Amino acid sequence: MSAPEEDVNPYELLELSIEASEQEIRTAYRQRSLKVHPDRNRGNPDAARKFHELYQAQELLLDPLRRMALDAKLRLKEARKARFSQYDNKRKNLVEELEERERAFKKVRTETEAQKKERWRENERIMEEGRRLREDREKELQKKEREREELGQSARSELEPPSLGPLDTTIRVKYTLTSHPTLTSAASISALLIPFGALDDSSIVLSLKPAPPKKPKRGTALVPFKQIVGAFGAVGASGRAENGLADIEVDWAEGKEPELIGWLKKMGKLGGGSSGSSQKPETINSGAKAAPAQTPLSSDYKTTNLPHTQAPPTSTFSSFPSTFPDFDVTPQAPTASTDVPGIDYESMTLLRMRQAERERIEREIREQEAQEG
Protein backbone atom coordinates (compact mmCIF):
# COMPACT_ATOMS: atom_id res chain seq x y z
CA MET A 1 0.00 0.00 0.00
CA SER A 2 1.42 3.30 -0.99
CA ALA A 3 1.93 6.07 1.56
CA PRO A 4 0.19 9.44 1.21
CA GLU A 5 2.11 12.25 -0.40
CA GLU A 6 4.74 14.00 1.75
CA ASP A 7 2.97 17.37 1.58
CA VAL A 8 -0.29 15.86 2.91
CA ASN A 9 -0.46 15.64 6.71
CA PRO A 10 -2.73 12.71 7.74
CA TYR A 11 -3.61 14.46 11.03
CA GLU A 12 -4.67 17.59 9.18
CA LEU A 13 -6.58 15.52 6.64
CA LEU A 14 -8.60 13.83 9.44
CA GLU A 15 -8.61 17.01 11.56
CA LEU A 16 -6.91 15.27 14.48
CA SER A 17 -4.06 16.14 16.81
CA ILE A 18 -0.84 14.17 17.07
CA GLU A 19 -2.01 12.63 20.38
CA ALA A 20 -5.27 11.18 18.94
CA SER A 21 -6.19 7.62 19.86
CA GLU A 22 -7.10 4.78 17.53
CA GLN A 23 -10.80 5.13 18.26
CA GLU A 24 -10.67 8.84 17.46
CA ILE A 25 -8.87 8.03 14.20
CA ARG A 26 -11.56 5.51 13.14
CA THR A 27 -14.38 7.85 14.11
CA ALA A 28 -12.88 10.78 12.24
CA TYR A 29 -12.29 8.59 9.14
CA ARG A 30 -15.88 7.26 9.20
CA GLN A 31 -17.40 10.72 9.52
CA ARG A 32 -15.37 12.31 6.75
CA SER A 33 -15.38 9.38 4.35
CA LEU A 34 -19.20 9.37 4.35
CA LYS A 35 -19.18 12.98 3.21
CA VAL A 36 -16.82 12.36 0.24
CA HIS A 37 -17.89 8.82 -0.70
CA PRO A 38 -18.13 8.49 -4.54
CA ASP A 39 -21.61 6.95 -4.30
CA ARG A 40 -22.89 10.10 -2.59
CA ASN A 41 -20.95 12.48 -4.83
CA ARG A 42 -21.50 11.15 -8.33
CA GLY A 43 -21.22 14.57 -9.88
CA ASN A 44 -17.91 15.41 -8.13
CA PRO A 45 -14.85 14.07 -10.05
CA ASP A 46 -12.58 14.64 -6.99
CA ALA A 47 -14.70 12.53 -4.65
CA ALA A 48 -12.84 9.29 -5.38
CA ARG A 49 -9.42 10.94 -4.89
CA LYS A 50 -10.42 12.49 -1.54
CA PHE A 51 -11.94 9.22 -0.35
CA HIS A 52 -8.72 7.41 -1.24
CA GLU A 53 -6.61 9.98 0.64
CA LEU A 54 -8.74 9.57 3.76
CA TYR A 55 -8.37 5.81 3.57
CA GLN A 56 -4.57 6.04 3.24
CA ALA A 57 -4.38 8.49 6.17
CA GLN A 58 -6.35 6.09 8.37
CA GLU A 59 -4.18 3.12 7.40
CA LEU A 60 -0.98 5.06 8.13
CA LEU A 61 -2.12 6.28 11.55
CA LEU A 62 -3.36 2.82 12.56
CA ASP A 63 0.06 1.33 11.76
CA PRO A 64 2.21 1.84 14.91
CA LEU A 65 5.59 1.82 13.16
CA ARG A 66 4.58 4.09 10.31
CA ARG A 67 2.80 6.45 12.74
CA MET A 68 5.92 6.53 14.92
CA ALA A 69 8.06 7.52 11.92
CA LEU A 70 5.51 10.16 10.89
CA ASP A 71 5.33 11.59 14.38
CA ALA A 72 9.13 11.84 14.54
CA LYS A 73 9.24 13.60 11.21
CA LEU A 74 6.51 16.04 12.21
CA ARG A 75 8.15 16.79 15.57
CA LEU A 76 11.50 17.41 13.80
CA LYS A 77 9.82 19.73 11.38
CA GLU A 78 8.07 21.59 14.14
CA ALA A 79 11.31 21.85 16.10
CA ARG A 80 13.14 23.21 13.04
CA LYS A 81 10.36 25.72 12.48
CA ALA A 82 10.43 26.78 16.11
CA ARG A 83 14.20 27.04 16.07
CA PHE A 84 14.20 29.05 12.87
CA SER A 85 11.60 31.40 14.26
CA GLN A 86 13.98 32.19 17.08
CA TYR A 87 16.77 33.18 14.73
CA ASP A 88 17.45 36.83 14.45
CA ASN A 89 17.12 38.59 11.14
CA LYS A 90 20.86 38.34 10.44
CA ARG A 91 20.92 34.57 10.70
CA LYS A 92 17.74 34.34 8.69
CA ASN A 93 19.33 36.41 5.96
CA LEU A 94 22.47 34.27 6.09
CA VAL A 95 20.47 31.06 5.70
CA GLU A 96 18.47 32.55 2.87
CA GLU A 97 21.68 33.70 1.18
CA LEU A 98 23.23 30.25 1.46
CA GLU A 99 20.12 28.68 0.03
CA GLU A 100 20.14 31.23 -2.79
CA ARG A 101 23.82 30.47 -3.52
CA GLU A 102 23.08 26.77 -3.56
CA ARG A 103 20.24 27.33 -5.99
CA ALA A 104 22.49 29.55 -8.16
CA PHE A 105 25.26 26.94 -8.10
CA LYS A 106 22.84 24.23 -9.18
CA LYS A 107 21.57 26.51 -11.94
CA VAL A 108 25.11 27.26 -13.18
CA ARG A 109 26.02 23.59 -13.11
CA THR A 110 22.89 22.71 -15.06
CA GLU A 111 23.60 25.42 -17.63
CA THR A 112 27.24 24.28 -17.93
CA GLU A 113 26.17 20.72 -18.59
CA ALA A 114 23.63 21.93 -21.13
CA GLN A 115 26.34 23.99 -22.88
CA LYS A 116 28.66 20.97 -22.96
CA LYS A 117 25.93 18.86 -24.52
CA GLU A 118 25.20 21.59 -27.05
CA ARG A 119 28.90 21.88 -27.96
CA TRP A 120 29.11 18.12 -28.31
CA ARG A 121 26.08 18.08 -30.59
CA GLU A 122 27.55 20.95 -32.64
CA ASN A 123 30.87 19.12 -32.98
CA GLU A 124 29.04 16.00 -34.10
CA ARG A 125 27.07 18.03 -36.63
CA ILE A 126 30.24 19.66 -37.98
CA MET A 127 32.00 16.29 -38.21
CA GLU A 128 29.02 14.78 -40.01
CA GLU A 129 28.89 17.75 -42.37
CA GLY A 130 32.62 17.35 -43.03
CA ARG A 131 32.18 13.64 -43.78
CA ARG A 132 29.30 14.42 -46.12
CA LEU A 133 31.28 17.12 -47.94
CA ARG A 134 34.28 14.78 -48.23
CA GLU A 135 32.08 12.04 -49.67
CA ASP A 136 30.52 14.53 -52.11
CA ARG A 137 33.98 15.65 -53.24
CA GLU A 138 35.10 12.06 -53.69
CA LYS A 139 31.96 11.27 -55.70
CA GLU A 140 32.49 14.38 -57.83
CA LEU A 141 36.14 13.44 -58.45
CA GLN A 142 35.14 9.89 -59.35
CA LYS A 143 32.46 11.24 -61.71
CA LYS A 144 34.98 13.55 -63.41
CA GLU A 145 37.47 10.69 -63.65
CA ARG A 146 34.83 8.47 -65.27
CA GLU A 147 33.94 11.27 -67.68
CA ARG A 148 37.61 11.72 -68.59
CA GLU A 149 37.96 7.97 -69.13
CA GLU A 150 34.82 7.91 -71.29
CA LEU A 151 36.08 10.86 -73.32
CA GLY A 152 39.46 9.16 -73.70
CA GLN A 153 37.82 5.91 -74.77
CA SER A 154 35.57 7.80 -77.18
CA ALA A 155 38.58 9.60 -78.66
CA ARG A 156 40.52 6.33 -78.93
CA SER A 157 37.54 4.58 -80.54
CA GLU A 158 37.29 7.40 -83.08
CA LEU A 159 40.98 7.06 -83.89
CA GLU A 160 40.79 3.29 -84.33
CA PRO A 161 39.63 2.16 -87.79
CA PRO A 162 36.55 -0.07 -87.96
CA SER A 163 36.97 -3.71 -88.92
CA LEU A 164 36.54 -4.78 -92.51
CA GLY A 165 33.18 -6.40 -93.26
CA PRO A 166 32.80 -9.54 -95.41
CA LEU A 167 31.35 -7.52 -98.35
CA ASP A 168 33.27 -4.25 -97.94
CA THR A 169 35.46 -5.11 -100.96
CA THR A 170 32.56 -6.31 -103.13
CA ILE A 171 30.68 -4.12 -105.61
CA ARG A 172 27.44 -4.57 -107.55
CA VAL A 173 27.56 -3.84 -111.29
CA LYS A 174 24.37 -3.22 -113.31
CA TYR A 175 24.20 -2.60 -117.08
CA THR A 176 22.11 -3.19 -120.18
CA LEU A 177 23.31 -5.65 -122.80
CA THR A 178 22.23 -3.32 -125.60
CA SER A 179 24.96 -0.90 -124.52
CA HIS A 180 27.51 -3.57 -123.53
CA PRO A 181 26.79 -6.76 -125.49
CA THR A 182 30.21 -8.25 -124.65
CA LEU A 183 29.65 -8.36 -120.88
CA THR A 184 28.12 -11.81 -120.79
CA SER A 185 30.71 -13.68 -118.74
CA ALA A 186 32.72 -13.35 -115.56
CA ALA A 187 35.91 -13.05 -117.63
CA SER A 188 34.57 -10.02 -119.51
CA ILE A 189 33.50 -8.37 -116.25
CA SER A 190 36.96 -9.03 -114.82
CA ALA A 191 38.66 -7.53 -117.90
CA LEU A 192 36.49 -4.41 -117.57
CA LEU A 193 37.25 -3.80 -113.88
CA ILE A 194 40.84 -5.06 -113.61
CA PRO A 195 42.26 -1.52 -114.14
CA PHE A 196 40.86 -0.54 -110.73
CA GLY A 197 42.65 -3.30 -108.83
CA ALA A 198 43.15 -7.02 -108.42
CA LEU A 199 39.95 -9.09 -108.49
CA ASP A 200 38.88 -12.38 -106.95
CA ASP A 201 37.88 -13.85 -110.33
CA SER A 202 36.69 -17.17 -108.91
CA SER A 203 34.05 -15.44 -106.74
CA ILE A 204 32.46 -13.22 -109.41
CA VAL A 205 28.69 -13.83 -109.58
CA LEU A 206 26.96 -12.90 -112.88
CA SER A 207 23.21 -12.89 -113.48
CA LEU A 208 21.62 -12.22 -116.90
CA LYS A 209 17.95 -11.40 -117.27
CA PRO A 210 16.19 -13.05 -118.87
CA ALA A 211 18.38 -16.12 -118.71
CA PRO A 212 19.48 -17.94 -121.89
CA PRO A 213 18.26 -19.40 -124.27
CA LYS A 214 16.16 -16.23 -124.36
CA LYS A 215 18.00 -13.13 -125.40
CA PRO A 216 19.14 -11.37 -122.22
CA LYS A 217 18.42 -7.67 -121.86
CA ARG A 218 20.38 -6.63 -118.79
CA GLY A 219 23.01 -8.00 -116.45
CA THR A 220 23.91 -7.80 -112.77
CA ALA A 221 27.22 -8.91 -111.31
CA LEU A 222 28.81 -9.12 -107.84
CA VAL A 223 32.52 -8.46 -108.21
CA PRO A 224 34.84 -8.91 -105.18
CA PHE A 225 38.13 -6.99 -105.17
CA LYS A 226 41.13 -8.17 -103.23
CA GLN A 227 41.53 -4.68 -101.76
CA ILE A 228 38.90 -2.13 -100.79
CA VAL A 229 40.95 0.45 -102.71
CA GLY A 230 39.91 -1.19 -105.98
CA ALA A 231 36.24 -1.30 -104.98
CA PHE A 232 36.38 2.35 -103.89
CA GLY A 233 37.88 3.40 -107.24
CA ALA A 234 35.30 1.44 -109.22
CA VAL A 235 32.36 2.90 -107.29
CA GLY A 236 33.76 6.40 -107.75
CA ALA A 237 34.03 5.84 -111.52
CA SER A 238 30.42 4.65 -111.89
CA GLY A 239 28.89 5.80 -115.20
CA ARG A 240 32.05 7.55 -116.46
CA ALA A 241 32.92 6.99 -120.05
CA GLU A 242 36.58 7.91 -119.61
CA ASN A 243 36.97 4.88 -117.35
CA GLY A 244 35.06 2.54 -119.66
CA LEU A 245 31.99 2.50 -117.41
CA ALA A 246 29.57 4.47 -119.57
CA ASP A 247 25.96 3.40 -118.87
CA ILE A 248 27.23 1.05 -116.17
CA GLU A 249 25.98 1.52 -112.63
CA VAL A 250 28.52 0.55 -109.95
CA ASP A 251 27.58 0.54 -106.28
CA TRP A 252 28.57 -1.20 -103.07
CA ALA A 253 27.23 -4.74 -102.71
CA GLU A 254 25.42 -3.94 -99.46
CA GLY A 255 23.89 -0.77 -100.90
CA LYS A 256 25.78 1.48 -98.50
CA GLU A 257 29.28 2.81 -98.09
CA PRO A 258 31.54 0.70 -95.84
CA GLU A 259 32.27 2.06 -92.39
CA LEU A 260 35.99 2.13 -93.16
CA ILE A 261 35.43 4.62 -96.00
CA GLY A 262 33.42 6.90 -93.71
CA TRP A 263 36.12 6.65 -91.01
CA LEU A 264 38.87 7.64 -93.46
CA LYS A 265 36.81 10.62 -94.62
CA LYS A 266 36.21 11.66 -91.03
CA MET A 267 39.90 11.40 -90.20
CA GLY A 268 40.77 13.55 -93.23
CA LYS A 269 42.68 10.72 -94.89
CA LEU A 270 40.19 10.55 -97.75
CA GLY A 271 38.49 13.23 -99.79
CA GLY A 272 34.75 13.80 -99.82
CA GLY A 273 34.49 11.74 -103.02
CA SER A 274 36.75 9.97 -105.49
CA SER A 275 36.80 10.65 -109.17
CA GLY A 276 37.96 7.12 -109.88
CA SER A 277 39.85 8.35 -112.95
CA SER A 278 43.49 7.91 -113.76
CA GLN A 279 44.10 11.64 -113.25
CA LYS A 280 45.12 13.03 -109.90
CA PRO A 281 42.59 15.35 -108.18
CA GLU A 282 44.88 18.32 -108.73
CA THR A 283 45.22 17.77 -112.53
CA ILE A 284 41.62 17.01 -113.51
CA ASN A 285 40.45 19.40 -116.26
CA SER A 286 43.82 21.11 -116.14
CA GLY A 287 46.47 21.31 -118.85
CA ALA A 288 49.28 22.31 -116.51
CA LYS A 289 52.47 20.23 -116.75
CA ALA A 290 53.53 20.81 -113.16
CA ALA A 291 53.78 17.73 -110.96
CA PRO A 292 50.67 17.37 -108.77
CA ALA A 293 50.97 17.60 -105.02
CA GLN A 294 50.97 14.27 -103.24
CA THR A 295 47.81 13.63 -101.21
CA PRO A 296 46.50 10.63 -99.30
CA LEU A 297 44.35 9.82 -102.36
CA SER A 298 47.25 9.39 -104.74
CA SER A 299 49.41 6.34 -105.33
CA ASP A 300 52.58 8.53 -105.29
CA TYR A 301 51.80 9.53 -101.72
CA LYS A 302 51.45 5.90 -100.78
CA THR A 303 54.83 4.86 -102.14
CA THR A 304 56.95 7.88 -101.24
CA ASN A 305 55.63 9.32 -97.97
CA LEU A 306 54.69 6.22 -96.00
CA PRO A 307 56.75 3.12 -95.21
CA HIS A 308 55.23 0.12 -96.96
CA THR A 309 56.68 -3.32 -97.26
CA GLN A 310 54.61 -4.35 -100.27
CA ALA A 311 55.10 -3.32 -103.87
CA PRO A 312 53.12 -0.24 -104.98
CA PRO A 313 49.89 -1.01 -106.86
CA THR A 314 50.10 -0.98 -110.62
CA SER A 315 46.55 0.33 -111.07
CA THR A 316 46.25 3.94 -112.15
CA PHE A 317 42.93 4.11 -110.28
CA SER A 318 44.46 3.54 -106.86
CA SER A 319 43.33 6.51 -104.80
CA PHE A 320 43.34 5.11 -101.29
CA PRO A 321 45.65 5.77 -98.31
CA SER A 322 48.21 3.18 -97.35
CA THR A 323 46.89 2.80 -93.84
CA PHE A 324 44.36 0.18 -94.91
CA PRO A 325 45.50 -3.50 -94.69
CA ASP A 326 46.56 -5.11 -97.93
CA PHE A 327 44.42 -7.89 -99.41
CA ASP A 328 46.53 -8.50 -102.54
CA VAL A 329 47.08 -12.11 -101.53
CA THR A 330 43.63 -13.58 -101.07
CA PRO A 331 43.52 -17.18 -99.83
CA GLN A 332 42.07 -19.76 -102.16
CA ALA A 333 38.75 -21.37 -101.40
CA PRO A 334 39.15 -23.96 -98.62
CA THR A 335 38.94 -27.63 -99.48
CA ALA A 336 37.40 -30.35 -97.39
CA SER A 337 40.48 -30.37 -95.17
CA THR A 338 40.90 -27.41 -92.84
CA ASP A 339 44.69 -27.73 -92.73
CA VAL A 340 45.44 -25.73 -95.89
CA PRO A 341 49.05 -24.53 -96.11
CA GLY A 342 49.45 -20.73 -96.11
CA ILE A 343 45.92 -19.96 -94.75
CA ASP A 344 45.43 -19.20 -91.07
CA TYR A 345 42.20 -19.69 -89.20
CA GLU A 346 41.21 -16.02 -89.29
CA SER A 347 41.65 -15.75 -93.09
CA MET A 348 39.71 -18.96 -93.64
CA THR A 349 36.85 -17.71 -91.44
CA LEU A 350 36.76 -14.38 -93.29
CA LEU A 351 36.72 -16.17 -96.65
CA ARG A 352 33.82 -18.39 -95.59
CA MET A 353 31.85 -15.40 -94.34
CA ARG A 354 32.37 -13.58 -97.63
CA GLN A 355 31.37 -16.65 -99.64
CA ALA A 356 28.18 -17.14 -97.57
CA GLU A 357 27.24 -13.47 -97.93
CA ARG A 358 27.79 -13.60 -101.71
CA GLU A 359 25.55 -16.66 -101.97
CA ARG A 360 22.84 -14.88 -99.98
CA ILE A 361 22.99 -11.78 -102.19
CA GLU A 362 23.03 -13.92 -105.36
CA ARG A 363 19.94 -15.75 -104.11
CA GLU A 364 18.19 -12.45 -103.40
CA ILE A 365 19.04 -11.15 -106.90
CA ARG A 366 17.64 -14.26 -108.53
CA GLU A 367 14.47 -14.10 -106.44
CA GLN A 368 14.01 -10.43 -107.31
CA GLU A 369 14.55 -11.12 -111.03
CA ALA A 370 12.07 -14.02 -110.86
CA GLN A 371 9.47 -11.70 -109.34
CA GLU A 372 10.12 -9.00 -111.93
CA GLY A 373 9.96 -11.57 -114.79
Beta-carbon contacts of 239 under 8 Å, excluding residues fewer than 6 positions away, are 245, 246, 247, 248, 249, 250
Mean pLDDT by 10 residues, the chain (373 residues): 59 88 91 88 86 90 91 89 73 84 93 93 93 92 90 75 82 85 84 88 82 73 87 86 84 85 76 40 33 36 36 42 45 42 61 81 84 75
Residue type, 183: L
Model-level pTM?
A: 0.38
- Whole-number pLDDT of residue 37: 87
Distance CA 174, CA 362 (A): 13
The C-alpha angle with vertex 169 and arms to 178 and 210, in degrees rounded to 5, equals: 30
- Whole-number pLDDT of residue 122: 93
Give start and end residues of each alpha helix (H) in the chain: 10-14, 22-36, 47-62, 64-86, 89-159, 186-193, 228-236, 259-266, 299-304, 345-372
Residues 43, 83 contacting (CB under 8 angstroms): no
> How distant, in Å, are the alpha carbons of 40, 129, 210, 314 from that of 123?
62, 10, 93, 82
> How distant, in Å, are the alpha carbons of 82, 124, 169, 182, 300 from that of 193?
136, 83, 13, 14, 21
> How distant, in Å, are the alpha carbons of 44, 80, 188, 201, 365 from that of 333?
115, 125, 22, 12, 23
Residues 14, 57 contacting (CB under 8 angstroms): yes
- Whole-number pLDDT of residue 23: 92
**Residue 218 β-bridge partners:** 176, 209
- Whole-number pLDDT of residue 88: 67
The C-alpha angle with vertex 180 and arms to 179 and 185, in degrees rounded to 5, equals: 155
- Whole-number pLDDT of residue 186: 84
Please give the DSSP secondary-structure letter assigned to residue 317: T
